[in-house]
Amino acid sequence: MKVRIVPATFLLLCISFALGIPLERVRAGDEPKSTRPAIYDESADGSKQIAEALVIAKKENKHVLLQFGANWCGWCHRLHNLFQTDKNIAETLKRNFIVVLVDVNKGHNADTDLKYGHPMRFGLPALVVLDSDGKQLTTQDSGKLEEGDHHSPVKVLAFLEAWAPKKQP
């Protein structure tokens, strides 16, 4: 059996051997982006998703949080992960918001982006908060919620609390 080694693989083998690093460790950190789980439905109609979310928000006295992004976007995955793993953020979202992940890959849902003032101009992910009637309350450049190589839980929570619906006593 003949094994063909392509130049990149050969170089990786040489470097890992020279440094004494097991090949598995070198490759683990170089995982292709395509192996990330898909969090955005690339076939979903953003307008329909939002209309459905508004019905629920109206019934439950919540706001709608739109997260414009794409499955290839690392920052989108980071924010989504923070929404799920940070206990305070997850509880605040569940209590106050219906979250809609609007896929904008390759121009998908461009009409929805345009309808809400082109929030993608800030980059991805971009956040928009709607009241239960569909009125746009704010647009947030998620870069302002970052701290170094991650989103700041403190900044994200402060943003969510500032735009949560005011509950009747």
pLDDT at position 34? 57
> Where does the pLDDT of residue 36 fall: very low under 50, low under 70, confident under 90, or very high at 90 and above?
confident
> Where does the pLDDT of residue 30 fall: very low under 50, low under 70, confident under 90, or very high at 90 and above?
very low
Closest CA to 134 of 41, 57, 44: 57
pLDDT in tens, 109-141: 999 999 999 999 999 999 999 999 999 999 999
Contact status, residue 142 vs residue 127, Cβ threshold 8 Å: yes
Distances (CA, A) of 165 to 83, 92, 129, 168: 18, 11, 10, 9
Amino acid 39 reads I
Amino acid 151 reads H
For residue 104, pLDDT over 70 is answered with yes
Distance CA 151, CA 156 (A): 7
CA dihedral 140, 143, 147, 149 (to 10 degrees): 140
Distance CA 153, CA 151 (A): 6
> What are 146's strand-pairing partners?
151
> Where does the pLDDT of residue 4 fall: very low under 50, low under 70, confident under 90, or very high at 90 and above?
very low
Distance CA 101, CA 79 (A): 11
